[in-house]
């Protein structure tokens, strides 16, 4: 049986709506669209899978760096993120997300095929698409900059 885990959160308004930032107390673990009061089923399933029994603690200080960097990004004053974060997903998903973070710079785009090649799985284009769709760090890990081969 898993021990009860504390996840720390705060919300922020952004040009794309309310964002909820989650931390394990040391690193950011997820960015979710919407507020805590309207958590998606996808987020609840993800939390249960990777953290088990959770107590949520409202704690702006635990996500302050992420919030500051995201606000600067939205204000067009930040093009790179330094906040520490931790991926929770399958090993394949983690490879894809790491490749997104490492290979797509501000304003750049990559195709799903480019990412598949970058992780050494050139035929896994559809699987890469599935992993991109489950990216837990939207904006910081630029899944919105991955496009189809035809552009």
Active-site positions? 143
Give the whole-angstrom CA distance, residue 37 versus residue 2: 25
Closest CA to 106 of 129, 134, 150, 73: 73
Which residues in the chain belong to E strands, given as ranges? 5-12, 19-23, 28-33, 54-58, 110-111, 146-147
Write b or e for each residue in 95-107: b if 16 or more Cβ atoms lie within 10 A of its Cβ, otherwise e: bbbebbbeebeee
How far is Cα 46 from Cα 102, in angstroms, rounded to an integer? 24
Residue partners of 114: CB distance under 8 A and separation at least 6: 103
């Amino acid at each position: 049986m898993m021990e009860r885990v504390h996840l720390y959160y705060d919300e922020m308004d952004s040009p794309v709506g309310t964002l909820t930032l989650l931390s394990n107390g040391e690193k950011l673990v997820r960015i979710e669209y919407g507020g805590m009061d309207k958590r998606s089923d996808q987020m609840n399933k993800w939390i249960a899978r990777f953290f088990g029994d959770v107590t949520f603690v409202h704690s702006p200080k635990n996500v302050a760096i992420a919030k500051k960097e995201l606000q600067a990004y939205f204000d067009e004053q930040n093009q790179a993120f330094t906040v520490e974060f931790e991926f929770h997903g399958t090993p394949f998903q983690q490879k894809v997300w790491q490749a997104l973070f490492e290979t797509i710079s501000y304003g750049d785009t990559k195709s799903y095929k480019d990412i598949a090649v970058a992780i050494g799985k050139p035929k896994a284009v559809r699987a890469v698409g599935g992993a991109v769709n489950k990216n837990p760090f939207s904006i910081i890990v630029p899944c919105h900059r991955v496009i189809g081969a035809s552009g």
